[in-house]
Structure 1
Amino acid sequence: MIQQTQGRRARLRAQTTAEIKSTALRLMAEGGPDAISLRAIAREMDMSGSALYSYFATRDALVTALIGDVHTALVDRAEAARDACPADDPAARLQAWWRAVRDWALAEPEGFRLVYGDPVAGYVAPVGGPAPKPSQRACLGLIELVAAAWPYAETLQPTDDHTWSDFTPALVEEIREHLPEVPVGAVALAFRVWGRMYGLIGLEIYGHLGPSVAEPGKLYEAELRDLVSSLGLRRRTEGD
Protein backbone atom coordinates (compact mmCIF):
# COMPACT_ATOMS: atom_id res chain seq x y z
CA MET A 1 0.00 0.00 0.00
CA ILE A 2 2.85 2.39 0.85
CA GLN A 3 4.55 1.69 -2.49
CA GLN A 4 1.27 2.27 -4.36
CA THR A 5 0.77 5.59 -2.56
CA GLN A 6 4.31 6.69 -3.33
CA GLY A 7 3.93 5.64 -6.95
CA ARG A 8 0.69 7.60 -7.27
CA ARG A 9 2.31 10.68 -5.77
CA ALA A 10 5.26 10.38 -8.15
CA ARG A 11 2.93 10.15 -11.15
CA LEU A 12 0.91 13.15 -9.98
CA ARG A 13 4.08 15.14 -9.44
CA ALA A 14 5.37 14.26 -12.91
CA GLN A 15 2.03 15.22 -14.47
CA THR A 16 1.95 18.54 -12.63
CA THR A 17 5.56 19.28 -13.56
CA ALA A 18 4.75 18.64 -17.22
CA GLU A 19 1.70 20.91 -16.99
CA ILE A 20 3.77 23.69 -15.42
CA LYS A 21 6.28 23.48 -18.28
CA SER A 22 3.61 23.42 -21.00
CA THR A 23 1.85 26.37 -19.39
CA ALA A 24 5.13 28.31 -19.31
CA LEU A 25 5.72 27.68 -23.03
CA ARG A 26 2.15 28.68 -23.84
CA LEU A 27 2.49 31.92 -21.91
CA MET A 28 5.73 32.59 -23.75
CA ALA A 29 4.04 31.98 -27.10
CA GLU A 30 1.27 34.41 -26.20
CA GLY A 31 3.26 37.14 -24.48
CA GLY A 32 6.94 36.63 -25.19
CA PRO A 33 9.68 35.43 -22.83
CA ASP A 34 8.87 37.99 -20.15
CA ALA A 35 5.47 36.32 -19.73
CA ILE A 36 7.14 33.37 -18.02
CA SER A 37 6.61 33.93 -14.31
CA LEU A 38 5.73 31.59 -11.49
CA ARG A 39 2.91 33.87 -10.38
CA ALA A 40 1.31 33.84 -13.83
CA ILE A 41 1.67 30.07 -14.12
CA ALA A 42 0.13 29.53 -10.69
CA ARG A 43 -2.80 31.72 -11.69
CA GLU A 44 -3.30 29.85 -14.97
CA MET A 45 -3.22 26.50 -13.19
CA ASP A 46 -5.30 27.64 -10.23
CA MET A 47 -2.48 26.73 -7.86
CA SER A 48 -1.19 28.57 -4.84
CA GLY A 49 2.22 30.15 -5.12
CA SER A 50 3.56 28.02 -2.30
CA ALA A 51 2.41 24.85 -4.06
CA LEU A 52 4.14 25.88 -7.28
CA TYR A 53 7.36 26.73 -5.44
CA SER A 54 7.52 23.14 -4.25
CA TYR A 55 8.09 22.19 -7.91
CA PHE A 56 10.36 25.06 -8.97
CA ALA A 57 11.92 27.26 -6.30
CA THR A 58 12.60 30.11 -8.74
CA ARG A 59 11.62 31.22 -12.21
CA ASP A 60 15.22 30.65 -13.35
CA ALA A 61 15.02 27.03 -12.17
CA LEU A 62 11.95 26.58 -14.37
CA VAL A 63 13.58 28.27 -17.36
CA THR A 64 16.65 26.07 -16.94
CA ALA A 65 14.47 22.96 -16.94
CA LEU A 66 12.63 24.18 -20.04
CA ILE A 67 15.85 24.88 -21.92
CA GLY A 68 17.16 21.44 -21.01
CA ASP A 69 13.96 19.74 -22.19
CA VAL A 70 13.87 21.70 -25.44
CA HIS A 71 17.50 21.06 -26.31
CA THR A 72 17.16 17.39 -25.46
CA ALA A 73 14.12 16.99 -27.73
CA LEU A 74 15.92 18.80 -30.54
CA VAL A 75 19.15 16.82 -30.28
CA ASP A 76 17.34 13.48 -29.92
CA ARG A 77 15.48 14.21 -33.16
CA ALA A 78 18.58 15.42 -35.02
CA GLU A 79 20.69 12.48 -33.88
CA ALA A 80 18.01 9.98 -34.87
CA ALA A 81 17.81 11.51 -38.36
CA ARG A 82 21.60 11.51 -38.66
CA ASP A 83 21.95 7.91 -37.51
CA ALA A 84 19.36 6.73 -40.03
CA CYS A 85 21.94 7.56 -42.72
CA PRO A 86 25.03 5.45 -43.50
CA ALA A 87 28.08 6.28 -41.42
CA ASP A 88 30.18 6.61 -44.58
CA ASP A 89 27.90 9.24 -46.16
CA PRO A 90 28.75 12.54 -44.44
CA ALA A 91 26.69 14.53 -46.94
CA ALA A 92 23.51 12.60 -46.17
CA ARG A 93 24.13 12.75 -42.41
CA LEU A 94 24.71 16.50 -42.46
CA GLN A 95 21.60 17.14 -44.53
CA ALA A 96 19.50 14.83 -42.36
CA TRP A 97 20.63 16.70 -39.23
CA TRP A 98 19.62 20.08 -40.60
CA ARG A 99 16.32 18.87 -42.04
CA ALA A 100 15.48 17.50 -38.60
CA VAL A 101 16.39 20.81 -36.97
CA ARG A 102 14.10 22.75 -39.31
CA ASP A 103 11.26 20.24 -38.92
CA TRP A 104 11.57 20.47 -35.15
CA ALA A 105 11.65 24.27 -35.20
CA LEU A 106 8.48 24.44 -37.31
CA ALA A 107 6.73 21.98 -34.97
CA GLU A 108 8.00 23.65 -31.77
CA PRO A 109 8.43 27.38 -32.54
CA GLU A 110 8.14 28.36 -28.86
CA GLY A 111 11.01 26.03 -28.01
CA PHE A 112 13.10 27.43 -30.85
CA ARG A 113 12.51 30.96 -29.63
CA LEU A 114 13.41 29.98 -26.09
CA VAL A 115 16.80 28.45 -26.88
CA TYR A 116 17.83 30.28 -30.07
CA GLY A 117 15.87 33.50 -30.07
CA ASP A 118 14.28 35.68 -27.46
CA PRO A 119 16.28 35.89 -24.22
CA VAL A 120 14.36 35.70 -20.96
CA ALA A 121 15.05 39.01 -19.22
CA GLY A 122 17.15 38.61 -16.10
CA TYR A 123 17.68 34.88 -16.55
CA VAL A 124 20.93 33.58 -15.08
CA ALA A 125 21.98 30.11 -16.14
CA PRO A 126 23.30 27.83 -13.39
CA VAL A 127 27.01 27.16 -13.20
CA GLY A 128 28.22 23.58 -13.39
CA GLY A 129 26.12 20.48 -13.83
CA PRO A 130 26.59 17.26 -15.76
CA ALA A 131 28.46 17.44 -19.06
CA PRO A 132 27.75 17.46 -21.84
CA LYS A 133 24.62 19.50 -21.23
CA PRO A 134 21.89 19.31 -23.88
CA SER A 135 23.13 22.48 -25.60
CA GLN A 136 26.67 21.08 -25.59
CA ARG A 137 25.35 17.87 -27.16
CA ALA A 138 23.97 19.93 -30.02
CA CYS A 139 27.23 21.78 -30.46
CA LEU A 140 29.39 18.67 -30.28
CA GLY A 141 27.06 16.79 -32.62
CA LEU A 142 27.38 19.43 -35.30
CA ILE A 143 31.16 19.68 -34.86
CA GLU A 144 31.42 15.92 -35.29
CA LEU A 145 29.38 16.06 -38.49
CA VAL A 146 31.51 18.81 -39.98
CA ALA A 147 34.70 17.05 -38.87
CA ALA A 148 33.61 14.03 -40.95
CA ALA A 149 33.48 16.34 -43.96
CA TRP A 150 36.72 18.12 -43.11
CA PRO A 151 39.02 15.87 -45.22
CA TYR A 152 37.03 17.01 -48.27
CA ALA A 153 36.32 20.58 -47.19
CA GLU A 154 39.79 21.54 -46.02
CA THR A 155 41.10 22.27 -49.52
CA LEU A 156 37.98 24.26 -50.51
CA GLN A 157 37.50 26.45 -47.45
CA PRO A 158 39.40 29.71 -46.84
CA THR A 159 42.25 29.45 -44.37
CA ASP A 160 41.73 31.81 -41.45
CA ASP A 161 44.57 30.53 -39.28
CA HIS A 162 42.26 29.61 -36.43
CA THR A 163 43.80 28.52 -33.14
CA TRP A 164 42.24 26.95 -30.07
CA SER A 165 42.49 30.29 -28.30
CA ASP A 166 39.76 31.54 -30.67
CA PHE A 167 37.26 29.48 -28.65
CA THR A 168 36.26 29.45 -25.01
CA PRO A 169 38.19 27.21 -22.63
CA ALA A 170 34.96 25.40 -21.75
CA LEU A 171 34.31 24.43 -25.38
CA VAL A 172 37.92 23.42 -25.95
CA GLU A 173 37.77 21.19 -22.88
CA GLU A 174 34.58 19.53 -24.14
CA ILE A 175 36.08 18.91 -27.59
CA ARG A 176 39.28 17.48 -26.15
CA GLU A 177 37.28 15.14 -23.94
CA HIS A 178 34.68 13.97 -26.47
CA LEU A 179 36.22 14.68 -29.92
CA PRO A 180 39.98 14.72 -29.36
CA GLU A 181 40.88 14.14 -33.03
CA VAL A 182 38.91 17.10 -34.40
CA PRO A 183 41.13 19.84 -35.88
CA VAL A 184 40.54 23.45 -34.94
CA GLY A 185 39.70 24.37 -38.54
CA ALA A 186 36.75 21.96 -38.49
CA VAL A 187 35.47 23.58 -35.30
CA ALA A 188 35.54 27.02 -36.91
CA LEU A 189 33.79 25.64 -39.99
CA ALA A 190 31.09 24.03 -37.83
CA PHE A 191 30.15 27.41 -36.39
CA ARG A 192 30.02 28.92 -39.86
CA VAL A 193 27.72 26.11 -40.97
CA TRP A 194 25.57 26.70 -37.90
CA GLY A 195 25.19 30.38 -38.69
CA ARG A 196 24.40 29.67 -42.31
CA MET A 197 21.60 27.17 -41.71
CA TYR A 198 20.26 28.80 -38.55
CA GLY A 199 19.80 32.02 -40.50
CA LEU A 200 17.14 30.63 -42.82
CA ILE A 201 15.36 28.79 -40.02
CA GLY A 202 15.27 31.93 -37.89
CA LEU A 203 13.91 34.03 -40.75
CA GLU A 204 11.15 31.47 -41.27
CA ILE A 205 10.23 31.04 -37.59
CA TYR A 206 10.04 34.78 -37.00
CA GLY A 207 7.89 35.33 -40.09
CA HIS A 208 10.37 37.30 -42.16
CA LEU A 209 10.17 34.97 -45.17
CA GLY A 210 6.37 34.82 -45.26
CA PRO A 211 5.70 38.07 -47.14
CA SER A 212 8.13 37.14 -49.93
CA VAL A 213 8.73 33.38 -50.10
CA ALA A 214 5.88 31.02 -50.94
CA GLU A 215 7.93 27.83 -50.49
CA PRO A 216 10.56 28.31 -47.77
CA GLY A 217 11.21 24.57 -47.70
CA LYS A 218 12.38 24.68 -51.31
CA LEU A 219 14.70 27.55 -50.47
CA TYR A 220 16.08 25.61 -47.51
CA GLU A 221 16.74 22.49 -49.60
CA ALA A 222 18.63 24.59 -52.15
CA GLU A 223 20.79 25.98 -49.36
CA LEU A 224 21.43 22.47 -48.04
CA ARG A 225 22.57 21.31 -51.49
CA ASP A 226 24.84 24.33 -51.79
CA LEU A 227 26.24 23.65 -48.32
CA VAL A 228 27.13 20.08 -49.25
CA SER A 229 28.73 21.27 -52.48
CA SER A 230 30.77 23.94 -50.69
CA LEU A 231 32.16 21.22 -48.42
CA GLY A 232 33.28 19.13 -51.37
CA LEU A 233 30.76 16.39 -50.61
CA ARG A 234 28.30 14.46 -52.66
CA ARG A 235 25.52 12.11 -51.69
CA ARG A 236 26.62 8.50 -51.83
CA THR A 237 24.47 6.38 -54.11
CA GLU A 238 23.84 2.67 -53.93
CA GLY A 239 26.74 0.78 -55.47
CA ASP A 240 29.37 3.48 -54.81
Structure 2
Amino acid sequence: MTTESRTGPGPRDRFRAQVREEVKAAALRQLADGGPEALSLNAVAKQLGMTGPALYRYFANRDSLLTELVVDAYSALAAALAHAADAPAGDDTERLASVVRAYRAWARTEPHRYRLLFRAPFKGYDAHSDRLVEAAQRAMNVVLNVANAPAAPDTAVPEGARVQVREWMERRGVEDVPPAVASRTMMLWAHLHGLVSLEIEDNFASMGIDPGPLYEAEVGEFTRGL
Protein backbone atom coordinates (compact mmCIF):
# COMPACT_ATOMS: atom_id res chain seq x y z
CA MET A 1 0.00 0.00 0.00
CA THR A 2 1.37 3.42 -0.94
CA THR A 3 0.48 6.83 0.39
CA GLU A 4 0.85 10.18 -1.27
CA SER A 5 2.66 12.92 0.58
CA ARG A 6 1.22 16.39 0.56
CA THR A 7 3.56 18.69 -1.37
CA GLY A 8 1.66 21.93 -1.00
CA PRO A 9 -0.47 23.81 1.51
CA GLY A 10 -3.78 22.23 2.40
CA PRO A 11 -7.22 23.89 2.18
CA ARG A 12 -6.98 25.27 5.70
CA ASP A 13 -3.59 26.87 5.04
CA ARG A 14 -4.77 28.32 1.74
CA PHE A 15 -7.87 29.77 3.41
CA ARG A 16 -5.77 31.29 6.19
CA ALA A 17 -3.38 32.85 3.66
CA GLN A 18 -6.32 34.24 1.67
CA VAL A 19 -7.90 35.82 4.74
CA ARG A 20 -4.58 37.36 5.78
CA GLU A 21 -4.23 38.95 2.34
CA GLU A 22 -7.79 40.29 2.53
CA VAL A 23 -7.07 41.77 5.95
CA LYS A 24 -3.90 43.44 4.69
CA ALA A 25 -5.74 44.85 1.66
CA ALA A 26 -8.43 46.34 3.92
CA ALA A 27 -5.77 47.77 6.22
CA LEU A 28 -4.00 49.39 3.27
CA ARG A 29 -7.24 51.10 2.30
CA GLN A 30 -7.46 52.50 5.81
CA LEU A 31 -3.87 53.72 5.58
CA ALA A 32 -4.58 55.42 2.26
CA ASP A 33 -7.60 57.18 3.73
CA GLY A 34 -6.27 58.22 7.12
CA GLY A 35 -2.69 57.14 7.73
CA PRO A 36 -1.41 54.70 10.38
CA GLU A 37 -3.41 56.42 13.11
CA ALA A 38 -6.59 55.34 11.34
CA LEU A 39 -5.62 51.66 11.36
CA SER A 40 -8.12 49.74 13.50
CA LEU A 41 -8.41 45.97 13.69
CA ASN A 42 -12.05 46.25 14.69
CA ALA A 43 -12.78 48.44 11.69
CA VAL A 44 -10.95 45.99 9.40
CA ALA A 45 -12.90 43.09 10.89
CA LYS A 46 -16.20 44.92 10.37
CA GLN A 47 -15.29 45.73 6.78
CA LEU A 48 -14.64 42.04 6.10
CA GLY A 49 -17.76 40.83 7.91
CA MET A 50 -15.75 39.34 10.78
CA THR A 51 -15.72 39.83 14.51
CA GLY A 52 -12.76 41.38 16.30
CA PRO A 53 -11.84 38.16 18.13
CA ALA A 54 -11.95 36.22 14.85
CA LEU A 55 -9.47 38.63 13.29
CA TYR A 56 -7.02 38.06 16.13
CA ARG A 57 -6.62 34.49 14.92
CA TYR A 58 -4.80 35.91 11.89
CA PHE A 59 -2.94 38.86 13.44
CA ALA A 60 -2.06 39.03 17.12
CA ASN A 61 -2.45 42.80 17.32
CA ARG A 62 -2.20 46.03 15.38
CA ASP A 63 1.59 46.02 15.55
CA SER A 64 1.70 42.56 14.00
CA LEU A 65 -0.51 43.64 11.11
CA LEU A 66 1.47 46.84 10.63
CA THR A 67 4.74 44.92 10.48
CA GLU A 68 3.37 42.74 7.69
CA LEU A 69 2.34 45.85 5.77
CA VAL A 70 5.79 47.42 6.18
CA VAL A 71 7.60 44.26 5.09
CA ASP A 72 5.31 43.95 2.08
CA ALA A 73 5.97 47.58 1.16
CA TYR A 74 9.73 47.16 1.38
CA SER A 75 9.47 44.04 -0.77
CA ALA A 76 7.40 45.90 -3.37
CA LEU A 77 9.87 48.79 -3.43
CA ALA A 78 12.83 46.42 -3.77
CA ALA A 79 11.09 44.59 -6.62
CA ALA A 80 10.40 47.87 -8.45
CA LEU A 81 14.04 48.93 -8.08
CA ALA A 82 15.34 45.50 -9.15
CA HIS A 83 13.12 45.55 -12.23
CA ALA A 84 14.51 48.96 -13.19
CA ALA A 85 18.06 47.75 -12.58
CA ASP A 86 17.57 44.70 -14.80
CA ALA A 87 15.85 46.50 -17.66
CA PRO A 88 18.09 47.31 -20.65
CA ALA A 89 19.01 50.95 -20.23
CA GLY A 90 22.39 51.59 -21.76
CA ASP A 91 25.46 51.99 -19.59
CA ASP A 92 25.78 51.75 -15.81
CA THR A 93 24.96 55.41 -15.33
CA GLU A 94 21.69 54.94 -17.21
CA ARG A 95 20.88 51.89 -15.07
CA LEU A 96 21.37 54.00 -11.98
CA ALA A 97 19.15 56.72 -13.41
CA SER A 98 16.47 54.09 -14.09
CA VAL A 99 16.61 52.91 -10.48
CA VAL A 100 16.30 56.48 -9.21
CA ARG A 101 13.30 57.08 -11.46
CA ALA A 102 11.73 53.83 -10.24
CA TYR A 103 12.19 54.95 -6.64
CA ARG A 104 10.34 58.16 -7.34
CA ALA A 105 7.65 56.45 -9.42
CA TRP A 106 6.91 53.91 -6.68
CA ALA A 107 6.62 56.63 -4.04
CA ARG A 108 4.28 58.67 -6.21
CA THR A 109 2.12 55.64 -6.98
CA GLU A 110 2.08 54.33 -3.39
CA PRO A 111 2.45 57.44 -1.21
CA HIS A 112 0.64 55.91 1.79
CA ARG A 113 2.98 52.90 1.72
CA TYR A 114 6.03 55.10 1.23
CA ARG A 115 5.10 57.18 4.28
CA LEU A 116 4.67 53.97 6.24
CA LEU A 117 8.29 53.02 5.56
CA PHE A 118 9.91 56.24 6.68
CA ARG A 119 7.71 57.61 9.42
CA ALA A 120 7.19 56.37 12.96
CA PRO A 121 3.61 55.08 12.57
CA PHE A 122 2.60 55.55 16.20
CA LYS A 123 4.09 55.72 19.67
CA GLY A 124 5.47 52.44 20.99
CA TYR A 125 5.88 50.71 17.64
CA ASP A 126 9.34 49.21 17.08
CA ALA A 127 10.25 50.50 13.63
CA HIS A 128 13.80 49.14 13.97
CA SER A 129 13.11 45.46 14.62
CA ASP A 130 15.42 42.98 12.93
CA ARG A 131 12.72 41.92 10.49
CA LEU A 132 12.07 45.47 9.29
CA VAL A 133 15.77 46.28 9.06
CA GLU A 134 16.35 43.17 6.94
CA ALA A 135 13.45 44.10 4.67
CA ALA A 136 14.80 47.63 4.24
CA GLN A 137 18.27 46.31 3.47
CA ARG A 138 16.99 44.32 0.48
CA ALA A 139 15.89 47.55 -1.18
CA MET A 140 19.15 49.29 -0.29
CA ASN A 141 21.17 46.40 -1.72
CA VAL A 142 19.64 46.94 -5.15
CA VAL A 143 20.86 50.54 -5.19
CA LEU A 144 24.27 49.57 -3.79
CA ASN A 145 24.80 47.00 -6.52
CA VAL A 146 23.90 49.40 -9.30
CA ALA A 147 25.86 52.29 -7.79
CA ASN A 148 28.91 50.04 -7.43
CA ALA A 149 29.19 49.37 -11.15
CA PRO A 150 30.53 52.77 -12.30
CA ALA A 151 32.46 53.45 -9.09
CA ALA A 152 36.06 54.59 -8.97
CA PRO A 153 37.81 52.33 -6.43
CA ASP A 154 39.96 55.09 -4.93
CA THR A 155 37.11 57.44 -4.04
CA ALA A 156 37.52 58.50 -0.41
CA VAL A 157 34.96 58.03 2.33
CA PRO A 158 34.08 61.41 3.89
CA GLU A 159 36.00 62.08 7.10
CA GLY A 160 33.86 61.43 10.17
CA ALA A 161 31.69 58.86 8.40
CA ARG A 162 34.38 56.26 7.75
CA VAL A 163 33.99 54.24 10.96
CA GLN A 164 30.19 54.42 10.93
CA VAL A 165 29.94 53.30 7.32
CA ARG A 166 32.24 50.35 7.87
CA GLU A 167 30.34 49.29 10.98
CA TRP A 168 27.05 49.57 9.13
CA MET A 169 28.39 47.42 6.30
CA GLU A 170 29.55 44.76 8.76
CA ARG A 171 26.21 44.70 10.59
CA ARG A 172 24.24 44.45 7.35
CA GLY A 173 26.53 41.97 5.64
CA VAL A 174 27.32 44.34 2.77
CA GLU A 175 30.18 42.81 0.80
CA ASP A 176 31.94 43.46 -2.50
CA VAL A 177 31.04 47.15 -2.31
CA PRO A 178 33.73 49.75 -1.50
CA PRO A 179 32.94 51.78 1.64
CA ALA A 180 33.07 54.93 -0.49
CA VAL A 181 30.24 53.62 -2.66
CA ALA A 182 28.19 52.70 0.41
CA SER A 183 28.75 56.18 1.84
CA ARG A 184 27.79 57.94 -1.37
CA THR A 185 24.74 55.69 -1.78
CA MET A 186 23.52 56.68 1.68
CA MET A 187 23.88 60.31 0.69
CA LEU A 188 22.05 59.71 -2.57
CA TRP A 189 19.19 57.99 -0.74
CA ALA A 190 18.99 60.82 1.80
CA HIS A 191 18.72 63.40 -0.98
CA LEU A 192 16.17 61.37 -2.94
CA HIS A 193 14.11 60.74 0.17
CA GLY A 194 14.00 64.46 0.80
CA LEU A 195 12.87 65.18 -2.74
CA VAL A 196 10.29 62.39 -2.74
CA SER A 197 8.90 63.37 0.65
CA LEU A 198 8.48 66.98 -0.45
CA GLU A 199 6.83 65.88 -3.68
CA ILE A 200 4.27 63.47 -2.23
CA GLU A 201 3.26 66.12 0.32
CA ASP A 202 2.65 68.56 -2.58
CA ASN A 203 5.31 71.02 -1.46
CA PHE A 204 6.77 71.33 -4.96
CA ALA A 205 3.30 71.70 -6.45
CA SER A 206 2.58 74.63 -4.17
CA MET A 207 5.81 76.23 -5.42
CA GLY A 208 4.94 75.59 -9.06
CA ILE A 209 8.09 73.48 -9.50
CA ASP A 210 8.49 70.22 -11.41
CA PRO A 211 10.90 68.12 -9.29
CA GLY A 212 11.80 65.83 -12.21
CA PRO A 213 14.89 67.83 -13.25
CA LEU A 214 16.05 67.86 -9.63
CA TYR A 215 16.07 64.07 -9.61
CA GLU A 216 18.07 63.96 -12.82
CA ALA A 217 20.54 66.48 -11.42
CA GLU A 218 20.95 64.34 -8.31
CA VAL A 219 21.95 61.31 -10.38
CA GLY A 220 24.48 63.40 -12.30
CA GLU A 221 25.96 64.76 -9.08
CA PHE A 222 26.14 61.27 -7.60
CA THR A 223 27.95 59.70 -10.54
CA ARG A 224 30.40 62.59 -10.74
CA GLY A 225 31.19 62.07 -7.07
CA LEU A 226 32.10 58.46 -7.79
> Which TM-score tier does this pair reach, normalised by the shorter chain?
0.7 to 0.9
Q: CA deviation at 1:63?
A: 1.0
Aligned partner of 1:69 among 53, 72, 86: 72
**How far, CA to CA, are the matches of 2:128 and 2:119 in structure 1?**
19
* RMSD, matched Cα: 2.8
Partner of 1:54: 57
Q: CA deviation at 1:57?
A: 0.8
**Identity level (%):** 31
Q: How does 1:80-229 map to 2 (within 5 A)?
A: 80-85=83-88, 89-117=91-119, 119-125=121-127, 127-129=129-131, 133-151=134-152, 154=155, 160-162=158-160, 164-167=162-165, 169=167, 171-174=169-172, 177-179=173-175, 181-213=176-208, 216=210, 219-220=211-212, 222-229=213-220
TM-score by length of structure 2 reads 0.82
**How far, CA to CA, are the matches of 1:168 and 1:50 in structure 2?**
47
**How far, CA to CA, are the matches of 1:49 and 1:74 in structure 2?**
31
Q: CA deviation at 1:127?
A: 4.3
Return closer, same or farther for 1:162/1:85 CA change in 2, 3 Å cut-off: farther
Q: Which structure is higher in RCO with an 8 Å CA cutoff and minimum separation 6?
A: 1
Q: CA deviation at 1:65?
A: 0.7
How many residues are matched?
A: 217
Residues 162, 188 of structure 1: 8 Å contact kept: no
Deviations 1:143-169 (A, max 9, x none): 2232223318938xxx62255522484
**How far, CA to CA, are the matches of 1:30 and 1:164 in structure 2?**
42
Return closer, same or farther for 1:102/1:128 CA change in 2, 3 Å cut-off: closer
Structure 1 counterpart of 2:196, one-letter code = I
**How far, CA to CA, are the matches of 2:19 and 2:163 in structure 1?**
45
Residues 39, 49 of structure 1: 8 Å contact kept: yes
Return closer, same or farther for 1:17/1:227 CA change in 2, 3 Å cut-off: same
Residues 204, 210 of structure 1: 8 Å contact kept: yes
Structure 1 residues without counterparts, runs of 5 or longer: 234-240
TM-score by length of structure 1 reads 0.78
Return closer, same or farther for 1:127/1:195 CA change in 2, 3 Å cut-off: closer
Residues 162, 184 of structure 1: 8 Å contact kept: no
SS of residue in 2 equivalent to 1:85? coil
Structure 2 counterpart of 1:109, one-letter code = P
Residues 28, 35 of structure 1: 8 Å contact kept: yes
SS of residue in 1 equivalent to 2:150? helix
Structure 2 residues without counterparts, runs of 5 or longer: 1-5
Residues 33, 121 of structure 1: 8 Å contact kept: no
Residues 27, 35 of structure 1: 8 Å contact kept: yes
Q: After the TM superposition, which segments of 4 or more aligned residues of structure 1 sit over 6 Å from their partners?
A: none
